[in-house]
């Protein structure tokens, strides 16, 4: 599929079809897995602050729940599409399976720019989404979480609305909630630190000293923020740059510093939508360049942690020959054409649904804590996360070495086999249902 026709769901299906062929899956099984089990599209009316009634389009996709309740975030984004949500739901199925947590894949979204909403409008929109989905949500059915454009506070509103509508206090129906409102310590750092735990294992396998390594990071949302902090504080390496979308200028910038990026400093001058204060960054000695420059930096590790399709046949031409590892902090950042180039150049890739599985793993931990009504310390959460992600990485690496396949293919093989096993054990693939 040419990069100019990038469609996230087509990418997800292409990746699946490739591995399904390798696994010689039955055609019927393939059809079950390459399409979502259920999809919901609905309209949400919201009375705005100016008195106008606006109607927003919302989605929820439940891909496969053979291994457990559907799990996946809710995105508020002006360019949201049903195909993007379908792709992300499918990737969530593989993500939960590869890290071996008992959950399936789901994803939701609303077509909206949250930065243009007042707090009251956001709350009404959140509650409206729950009102549309209440019969198809639940701790044993479908468990949403925050994603692009949504926050812990918004999950708190959604959990509250579900509890009101059902007449039961149900903290486990949404994860990523605020700490003190059923949320888990460590959730904020989880996805970014999970990326770093997988990078650590990759560097160990490649016999590279993390302290001598440089990373270039795309993005400065939650994942990129803590990946930049973790690469320095956990691995002892240097971050050459980060990038971010500037919602004021409506364009992307790359931020670099001759002494390396200080993630905690940038975190202190970023707004809730990931826009870095350009003037404060420049005053602190940061060089501000075009947003696409991140991929050109002299680095050992690239961490695309923004949105889909940004590592493609065109941008990859600008990538430094120094790069040894691509760690996909974002979902679907690499197009199939770029994938082939990475494979040909023997660049070690940590595929998205393994690399960024720290978020859903800690969301699972949050649900467990909700069930127990007993909460762990941040250290306990992050230690459990490290153990889980490390085992998952090595399961995939073992598959890659055993079958002599690309890491992405190996991750898919591990995940798909686990889902097919669950479907088989539940009798879904027999002839009597």
Which are the catalytic amino acids?
107
Could you tell me which residues come within 8 angstroms of residue 27 by beta carbon, excluding any fewer than 6 positions away?
A: none
Which residue, chain included where needed, has tokens 């998952």? Answer: 392
Largest distance between two CA atoms of the chain: 69
Strand 251-256, strand 301-304: pairing:
unpaired
Reading phi first (left if > 0) and then psi (alpha if -120 to 50, else beta), residue 367 is in alpha
415-418's contacts with Cβ under 8 Å and 24+ in sequence apart are 415/93, 415/94, 415/95, 415/97, 415/98, 415/353, 416/16, 416/19, 416/20, 416/23, 416/25, 416/33, 416/94, 416/97, 417/23, 418/67, 418/97, 418/98, 418/100
Neighbours of 165 (CB within 10 A): 15
Dihedrals φ, ψ of 146, to 5°?
-70, 155
Q: Which of 313, 420, 3 is nearest to 14 (CA)?
A: 3
Q: Is 380 helix (H, G, I), strand (E, B) or coil?
A: helix
**Cβ–Cβ < 8 Å for 16, 416:** yes
Tokens for 157?
Answer: 């509103």
């Amino acid at each position: 599929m040419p990069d100019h026709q990038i469609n996230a769901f087509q990418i997800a299906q292409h990746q699946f079809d490739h591995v399904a062929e390798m696994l010689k899956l039955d055609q019927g099984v393939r059809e079950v897995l390459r399409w979502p089990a259920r999809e919901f599209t609905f309209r949400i009316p919201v009375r705005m602050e100016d008195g106008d009634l606006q109607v927003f389009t919302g989605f929820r996709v439940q891909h496969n729940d053979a291994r457990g309740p559907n799990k996946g975030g809710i995105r508020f984004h002006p360019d949201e599409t049903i195909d993007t949500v379908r792709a992300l739901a499918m990737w969530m199925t593989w993500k939960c399976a590869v890290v071996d947590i008992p959950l399936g894949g789901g994803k939701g979204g609303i077509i909206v720019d949250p930065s243009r909403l007042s707090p009251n409008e956001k709350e009404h929109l959140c509650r409206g989404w729950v009102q549309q989905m209440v019969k198809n949500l639940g701790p044993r059915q479908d468990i949403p979480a925050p994603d692009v454009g949504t926050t812990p506070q918004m999950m708190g509103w959604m959990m509250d609305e579900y509890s009101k509508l059902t007449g039961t206090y149900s903290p486990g129906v949404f994860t990523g909630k605020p700490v003190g409102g059923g949320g888990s310590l460590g959730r904020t750092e989880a996805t970014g630190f999970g990326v770093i735990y997988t990078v650590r294992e990759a560097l160990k396998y490649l016999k590279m000293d993390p302290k001598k390594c440089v990373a270039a990071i795309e993005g400065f949302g939650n994942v990129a923020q803590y990946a930049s902090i973790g690469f320095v504080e956990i691995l002892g390496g240097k971050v050459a740059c980060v990038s971010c979308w500037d919602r004021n200028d409506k364009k992307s910038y790359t931020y670099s510093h001759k002494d390396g990026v200080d993630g905690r400093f940038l975190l202190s001058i970023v707004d809730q939508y990931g826009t870095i204060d350009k003037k404060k960054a420049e005053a602190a000695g940061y060089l501000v360049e075009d947003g696409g420059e991140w991929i050109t930096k002299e680095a050992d590790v690239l961490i695309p942690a923004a949105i889909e399709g940004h590592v493609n046949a065109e941008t990859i031409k600008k990538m430094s020959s120094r790069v040894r590892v691509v760690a996909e902090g974002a979902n679907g950042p690499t197009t199939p054409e770029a994938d082939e180039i990475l494979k040909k150049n023997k660049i070690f890739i940590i595929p998205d649904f393994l690399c960024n599985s720290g978020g859903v793993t800690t969301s699972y931990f949050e649900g467990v804590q909700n069930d127990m009504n007993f909460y762990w310390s941040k250290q306990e959460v992050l230690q459990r996360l490290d153990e889980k992600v490390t085992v998952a990485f090595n399961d995939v690496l073992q598959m890659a070495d055993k079958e002599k396949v690309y890491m992405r293919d190996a991750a898919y093989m591990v995940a798909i086999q686990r889902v097919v096993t669950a479907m088989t054990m539940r009798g879904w693939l027999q002839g009597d249902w």
